[in-house]
Structure 1
Amino acid sequence: MACHSHHYWPDVTLDAVNAYWQDAAEMADSKWDKIFGEKIPAFQRGIASTLNLPDPAQIALAPNTHELIYRLLSAFDLSKPLRILTTDGEFYSFARQLMRLEELSNVEVERIPTEPFDTLPQRFEQALHSGDYQLAYASQVFFDSGVAFPGLLELAARKPEGTEMVIDGYHAFFARPTDLSAIADKVFYTAGSYKYLGAGEGMCFMSIPRNCQLRPLNTGWFAEMAELENRTGGVGFGNDWLRFAGATMDYSPLYKALAVLDLYQQEGITVDSIHAYVLQNQRRFLAAMDAAEHPLLNRDNLIAYDLDNGHGHFFTFRCGSAENAELLQSQLRGKNVLCDRRQQLLRLGFALYHPEEETFARLFCE
């Protein structure tokens, strides 16, 4: 039940890694033609189809989302004031980067508390429209609580014209059905293959509005891939994903991600069917939890907003202390139940590979 952190890889990913090795060994530098001409466009089409994005060529790739976000941040002129709006529930990578940026005298960050969740949309949107922010950033599903930001996509559609907005979709991509068609040219959307796609680390992406004219300061030679042999003076940028491209990376994760996408297409597995299956798992878990009257795993300690459809694919419990959470995690490990924790928070995830007959009662037995 740690599958919100690391989904098990389908067996097809082994053949995918071998295929990447074979291509690299046989084609040497010519492999870039295949990677940029076939593999990357196929992955972009898969992402665009999943998220209902109109232009696959606007999906930038990188080994991790932090690289993409920092490249976006580098497009702002740090000789001028930079105001950023976010929440207090963002993942460590972005939260740490903001704290470092705040050491600069001209960077100001406002963090909207995520709780209470029912008023979060109003509070965030009010701040968004009342302040002069260059960047707004919020998670679609919060990594610590598992709660989905209520109405985030609708809120993003109403953002001020002068504010760039990023939606961190890491805990929603390939978990919650997501349609970005109405805001494709309004927001940047980031996610990756490590979690719910089940393709491992090293393959992340960011969708880019088609009208984007930002010029990242952090830019690599891949950004000149289309004009490499005819390079002229100056630093130019294309109007597709290469605007936010970096430099050389290992593309075996790309092959793995494509293999998983192909597998799901062949098996008729969709994000909608995965989400419906996980919701059934969660309902069986809640029924077992209510019957058990566990001292820590109970509704009083469960961070909850809308248990019918207001969460990602994991539940988070407040255990009162880090020691309580560590002890409970150890007890569950003794029952062959894997989970993770963040300080006093214990997280339990649900996945497609949990069998339909699983009642989850074993978690609550003495």
Structure 2
Amino acid sequence: MYQKYYRQFLQAPNRGEPALHMACHSHHYWPDVTLEAVQQYWRDAAALADNKWGSLFEEKIPAWQRDVARVLGLPAPERIAIAPNTHELVYRLLSAFDLHQPLRILTTDGEFYSFARQLQRLEEEPNVRVTRIPKEPYATLAQRFEEELHGGDYQLAYASQVFFDSGVAFPRLLEIAARKPERTEFTIDGYHAFFARPTDLAAVADKVFYTAGSYKYLGAGEGLCFMSIPANCSLRPLNTGWFAELAELENRAERVAYADNWLRFAGATMDYSTLYKGLAIFQLFEREGITVEKIHRYVLAAQQRFLDTMDSAGHPLLNRENLIHHDLENGHGHFFTFDCGDSGRSEQLQEELLSRRVLCDRRKQLLRLGFAIYHPEGETYRRVFVS
């Protein structure tokens, strides 16, 4: 049903059987409309030169913010900051804390490498203390995390909506965020949930920072990420760029001021080709009636076909015992992760799958298989399990 929007990828020249792209939790295929979008970006830049900034900041960026806000139930599009990657936005948030004062951060042991590495570096500073709640067992994660959140004096809490290594969704994370202490800034990493799992942030919009991007499930490519900002945010990021005072460039004051909108967390010059691609995809999906809810139902059906085939295949590694999960229907992202025991076995399995033109990825002993709307409705995934 949805394959018609991805013909440039699905009908690309292949040798033999077309590839089954199951690395789509890492990099989704781009819909065909993105080619024209990139070319339009070039044409606009050529025609407008420096005047393109007016179009970008007065038309394109607000349109993107409105689309993101609509998908996530956010009430204030103007409080959605953008940057080339989420690390830049999160580090800008971290820079708003005074490292001369004690900084206590609560997180989990399952966060993506970028944030995990940054915290390790911050911990070298004498005033920074990080508490990592083990993500497993998932059944008790919500209780353990929330008890620590309220029991400790934390300035910042940070957790993934869907864990990047397993695909497991953090149970009741939005409920925890809604009850957070007033003293704690709360950040949700939504990268593996945005445009995959239906997400309504209306109840927590003024309590959390929510970060995600276009690289994965939206399928617009790298280079465009966002972070929603709670109302009445008064943080003053130390890491700040010239975009943050865009409205006052010609009459720049000597003091460092911050706008009461997304520009508070703005950086500097970036490439906006992905902005054009993202807008084109939003327009396509809205025109065709494709919603996150429909995408999620489609993927759930694909995952069930995969599980049914897996259960009858008797594969030595790809089986229920090795599948990392908590609640496959209500508490999972759009990919499955299998613990192969060691990196040698996962690497060998990845190579075997590649020989059958099944594309996937792995992290040490973990092999990840993703699902997308460009997988055919009748796909049974049998070739994954051929030994």
User: TM-score band (shorter)?
Assistant: over 0.9
| Residue in structure 1 matched with residue 182 of structure 2 by the alignment | 161
Map 1:127-206 onto structure 2 (within 5 A).
127-206=148-227
What's the CA shift for 1:362?
1.2
C-alpha displacement of 1:308: 1.6
2:309 is aligned to: 288
Matched, 1:298 2:319: yes
Q: Give the share of equivalent positions with the same residue, in percent.
A: 73
Q: Give the gaps of 5 or more residues in structure 2.
A: 1-21
Q: What is aligned with 1:24?
A: 45
Q: 2: distance between equivalents of 1:363 and 1:216?
A: 48
The superposition leaves residues 302-338 of structure 1 with CA deviations (integer Å, 9 ceiling, x where unpaired) of 0010112210000000001000000000000011000
For 2:354 and 2:289, the matched residues in 1 are separated by 34
Q: Distance in 1 between matches of 2:34 and 2:77?
A: 23
Report runs of 4+ in structure 1 exceeding 2 Å deviation. Answer: none
- Aligned residue identity for 1:76: F
Q: Separation in 1 of the partners of 2:330 and 2:101? A: 42
What amino acid does structure 2 have at the position aligned with 1:195? K
Q: Paired residue for 1:276?
A: 297
Q: Give the Cα separation in 1 of the matches to 2:232 and 2:176.
A: 20
2: CA distance, partners of 1:365 / 1:339: 15
Which amino acid in the other structure matches residue 299 of structure 1?
R
For the pair 1:75 / 2:75, whether they are aligned, the reply is no
**Does residue 324 of the first structure (1) align with residue 324 of the second (2)?**
no
- 1:54 equivalenced with 2:88 (yes/no): no
CA distance in 1, matches of 2:309, 2:253: 66
Residues 240-292 of structure 1, C-alpha deviation per residue, up to 9 Å, x if partnerless?
00000000001111111101111111111000000000000000000000000
Equivalent position SS for 1:180: coil
- Indicate whether 1:106 and 2:127 are aligned: yes
Cα offsets for 1:171-219 (capped at 9, x unmatched): 0000000000000000000000000000000000000001100000000
Counterpart residue type for residue 260 of structure 2: N
Alpha-carbon distance in structure 1 between the residues aligned to 2:27 and 2:330:
22
Q: Normalised by the size of structure 2, how large is the TM-score? A: 0.94
Q: 2:146 aligns with which of 125, 136, 140?
A: 125
**Does the residue aligned with 1:10 lie in a helix, a strand or coil?**
coil
- 1:35-72 deviation digits (Å, cap 9, x = unpaired): 00000000000000000000000000000000000000
1:182 partner SS? coil
1:180 is matched by which residue type in structure 2?
A: L
Match of 2:259 among 231, 234, 238: 238
Aligned-partner residue type, residue 177 of structure 1: P
Match for 1:263: what amino acid?
L
Superposed displacement of residue 11, structure 1: 1.0
CA distance in 2, matches of 1:321, 1:311: 24
Q: Deviations over 1:2-49 (max 9, x none)?
A: 000000001111111111111111111110000000000000000000
How many aligned residue pairs are there?
366
With normalisation by structure 1, the TM-score equals 0.99
SS at match of 1:183: coil
Partner-residue secondary structure (3-state), 1:123? helix
| Match in the other structure for 1:256 | 277
Q: CA deviation at 1:123?
A: 0.2
Q: What one-letter code is carried by the residue in structure 2 that aligns with 1:75?
A: A
Work out the CA distance in 2 between the residues paired with 1:195 and 1:147. Answer: 16
Distance in 1 separating the partners of 2:48 and 2:125 = 47
SS of match in other structure, 1:166: strand
Alignment of 1:86-105 (within 5 A): 86-105=107-126
Unaligned runs of 5+ in 1: none
What is the RMSD computed on CA atoms of the aligned residues? 0.5
Write the distance in 1 (CA, Å) between the matches of 2:53 and 2:291.
30
Distance in 2, matches of 1:295 and 1:107, equals 45
How much has 1:227 moved relative to structure 2? 1.3
Match of 1:225 among 211, 221, 246: 246
The equivalences for 1:338-357 within 5 A come to 338-357=359-378
- The amino acid across from 2:263 in the alignment is L
Match of 1:207 in 2: 228
Please name the residue that 2:7 is paired with. none
